């Protein structure tokens, strides 16, 4: 057995009976490892083929094409954001290729946490899983606020933005997830297809009014080092724009969280990741150039709905701008819906393995982790209703995301070097060079979060410290040996022991 996964008999046979008290320093890693424990924590396998997985990957991200990325223009100008988007696109592409290999090796609901657990041990697994969880709990809360803003601006049902809309989002969409994963992912695919179609229609309409001279119309800050018409805020502006360049791709790394519910994950997961990334790159290029060229970088840099502003300018709404406005709501719904899914699966995997309280991984008769859906949803709603600050929550989510990216890329490097003979049905093009590029760029993006919103970064850091204290003091002594991620680690340790013998 690997460290932290030694079998014990400290618990009675019933899987959910009270825990006996342990002496200080006594570890209980394999508590409740009988079959009953795992039977009550099973997902519905074979529910998602490569098409649904591809739709999931695009759904995570698509709302970022409608708004948010444009704020990077006020940090780096057109040139700064363009370079930042290019570099972040390279980071995500390298990360996705690395995750495609890892997900074919370890097709479990843990996703990035499971990869890091195998490569970096229990501490690495928890660090990665916590970072991912921060991203996927905070992002839906932020998006629910943005949905409220869209509903109010469109005058739908006479509603105003506020907690009732956030509550409706969480209740309705969590309800669909509780119904079943297959139904949930099919709903997500339909809404995502509408949003993608709208982005393509927007690009066609905006390019009819394209003027390259408008791209660099932001006034130059002469005091900034390296500033010019294309880099109005200098070279540092490129770095500051990193978090906003990420908005075109943020979330696609969550596809492996569906591995346990996928059909033939060894083949479908790499295929879905590659296609989703290709679609996102295309949408990023079209949206970025069409919006800035149609109305100018200065006009849309602070807009909450930059695509609508790009189409309307100072004029009256048009049929196309109304369509794009409604489609923006569809994009927000798609991302909100899919991020709820991702957060529940990450929480499920961490809880099932004992890193978080085990009751959170219980599944219903329809094989949905109901507490893993309801509790993060309650937390997300509480944050949305009490703060109303979607931008701040998204910045915290980005902080968590960048940490997880660095650790997942590092996991690929470590596994390639430590276990070169491991069966790899899919191999990352470029090998460790590819994952090394992702690792370096992820660390650069992490530092950039402090340039954009120091308060958000320190809030996220504080949450991280509290979570790590919980793991160090309590949960690392109570890991469940029969959880898939722990069994993979135990098998690797046994094989290494045989090779040394």
The per-residue pLDDT for range 325-345, each reduced to its tens digit, is: 888 889 999 999 889 988 888
| Average pLDDT estimate for 348-362 | 90
Model confidence at 296, pLDDT cuts 50, 70, 90, reads very high
Q: What is the Cα–Cα distance from 126 to 471, expressed in whole angstroms?
A: 8
Q: What is the Cα–Cα distance from 65 to 342, expressed in whole angstroms?
A: 20
Residue 145 has pLDDT above 90, yes or no: no
Q: What is the Cα–Cα distance from 275 to 278, expressed in whole angstroms?
A: 5
pLDDT at 161: 66
Q: What is the Cα–Cα distance from 124 to 500, expressed in whole angstroms?
A: 24
Q: Is 195:334 a contact under the CB 8 Å cutoff?
A: yes
Q: What is the Cα–Cα distance from 490 to 440, expressed in whole angstroms?
A: 30
Chain mean pLDDT for the chain = 85
Helix (H, G, I), strand (E, B) or coil at 469: helix
Residue 6 has pLDDT above 50, yes or no: no
Q: What is the Cα–Cα distance from 122 to 315, expressed in whole angstroms?
A: 57
Burial of 347 (0-12, 13-18, 19+ CB in 10 A): buried
Angle at 215 between CA 213 and CA 216, to 5 degrees: 85
Residue 310 has pLDDT above 80, yes or no: yes
160 versus 266: which is more confidently predicted?
266
Q: What is the Cα–Cα distance from 36 to 42, expressed in whole angstroms?
A: 10
pLDDT at 34: 59
pLDDT at 147: 86
Model confidence at 4, pLDDT cuts 50, 70, 90, reads very low
Which range among 13-22, 198-207, 307-316 shows the weakest confidence by mean pLDDT? 13-22
Residue 5 has pLDDT above 50, yes or no: no
What share of the chain has pLDDT > 70, as a percent? 89
Which domains are seen in the chain, by residue range?
A: 44-492 (1.20.1740.10)
Could you count the other beta carbons within 10 Å of the beta carbon of residue 265?
A: 25
| Average pLDDT estimate for 470-491 | 83
Angle at 492 between CA 486 and CA 419, to 5 degrees: 130
Residue recorded with tokens 């991702």 = 342
Residue 470 has pLDDT above 80, yes or no: yes
H helices present in 353-420, as ranges: 370-387, 390-418
Which range among 128-142, 172-186, 201-215 shows the weakest confidence by mean pLDDT? 172-186
Q: What is the Cα–Cα distance from 245 to 80, expressed in whole angstroms?
A: 10
pLDDT at 196: 95
Model confidence at 8, pLDDT cuts 50, 70, 90, reads very low
> How far out from the chain centre does Cα 423 lie?
27
Angle at 100 between CA 94 and CA 101, to 5 degrees: 100
| Average pLDDT estimate for 466-494 | 83
Q: For residue range 411-448, what is the model confidence (pLDDT) as tens digits?
A: 999 999 998 888 899 999 999 999 999 999 999 999 99
Nearest to 295 by CA among 314, 282, 278: 314
Output the CA–CA distances (angstroms, integers) from residue 145 to 151, 163, 164, 366, 491, in the order listed: 10, 8, 10, 30, 45
Torsion angles phi and psi, residue 420, rounded to 5 = -65, -25
Q: For residue range 100-131, what is the model confidence (pLDDT) as tens digits?
A: 999 888 887 778 888 999 899 999 999 999 99
pTM over cut 0.95: no
pLDDT at 187: 84
Reading the block at residue 307, the tokens are 């695509």
Reading the block at residue 432, the tokens are 């460790």
Half-sphere exposure of 177 (CA within 13 A, CB side): 27
DSSP 83-139: HHHHHHHHHHHHHHHHHHHHHHH--STTTHHHHHHHHHHHHHHHHHHHHHHHHHHHH
pLDDT at 21: 40
Residue 67 has pLDDT above 50, yes or no: yes
CA dihedral 4, 489, 483, 357 (to 10 degrees): 40
């Amino acid at each position: 057995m690997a460290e932290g996964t030694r079998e014990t008999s400290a618990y009675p046979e019933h899987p959910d009976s009270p825990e006996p008290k342990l002496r200080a320093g006594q570890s209980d890693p394999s508590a409740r490892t009988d079959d009953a424990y795992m039977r009550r924590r099973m997902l519905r396998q074979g529910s998602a083929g490569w098409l649904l997985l591809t739709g999931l990957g695009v759904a995570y991200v698509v709302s970022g094409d409608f708004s948010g990325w444009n704020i990077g223009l006020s940090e780096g100008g057109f040139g700064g954001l363009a370079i930042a988007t290019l570099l972040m696109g390279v980071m995500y592409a390298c990360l996705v290729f690395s995750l495609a290999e890892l997900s074919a090796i370890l097709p479990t609901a843990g996703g990035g946490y499971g990869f890091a657990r195998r490569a970096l041990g229990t501490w690495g697994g928890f660090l990665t899983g916590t970072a991912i969880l921060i991203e996927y709990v905070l992002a839906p809360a932020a998006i629910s606020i943005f949905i409220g803003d869209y509903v109010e601006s469109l005058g739908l049902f006479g509603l105003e933005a506020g907690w009732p809309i956030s509550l409706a989002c969480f209740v309705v969409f969590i309800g669909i997830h509780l119904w079943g994963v297959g139904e949930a992912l099919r709903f997500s695919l339909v809404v995502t297809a509408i949003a993608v179609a709208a982005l393509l229609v927007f690009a066609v309409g905006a390019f009819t009014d394209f003027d390259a001279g408008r791209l660099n119309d932001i006034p130059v800050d002469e005091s900034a080092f390296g500033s010019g018409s294309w880099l109005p805020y200098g070279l540092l502006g490129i770095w500051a724009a990193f978090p906003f360049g990420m908005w075109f791709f943020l979330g696609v790394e969550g596809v492996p969280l569906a591995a346990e519910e996928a059909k033939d994950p060894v083949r479908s997961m790499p295929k879905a990741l590659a296609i989703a990334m290709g679609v996102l790159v295309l949408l990023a290029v079209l949206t970025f150039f069409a919006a800035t060229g149609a109305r100018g970088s200065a006009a849309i840099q602070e807009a909450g709905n930059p695509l609508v502003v790009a189409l309307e300018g100072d004029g009256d709404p048009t049929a196309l701008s109304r369509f794009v406005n409604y489609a923006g709501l569809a994009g927000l719904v798609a991302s909100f819906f899919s991020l709820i899914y991702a957060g529940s699966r990450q929480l499920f995997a961490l809880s099932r393995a004992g890193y978080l309280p085990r009751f959170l991984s219980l599944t219903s008769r329809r094989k949905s982790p109901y507490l893993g859906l309801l509790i993060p949803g309650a937390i997300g709603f509480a944050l949305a209703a009490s703060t109303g600050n979607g931008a701040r929550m998204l910045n915290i989510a980005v902080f968590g995301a960048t940490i997880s990216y660095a650790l997942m890329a590092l996991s690929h490097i470590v596994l390639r070097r430590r276990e070169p003979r491991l069966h790899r049905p899919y191999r990352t093009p470029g090998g460790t060079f590819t994952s090394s590029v992702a690792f370096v760029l992820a660390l650069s993006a992490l530092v950039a979060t402090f340039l954009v919103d120091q308060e958000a970064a320190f809030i996220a850091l504080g949450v991280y410290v509290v979570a790590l204290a919980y793991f160090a003091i309590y949960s690392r002594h109570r890991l469940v040996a029969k959880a898939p991620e722990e069994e993979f680690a135990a098998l690797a340790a046994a094989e290494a022991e045989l090779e040394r013998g």
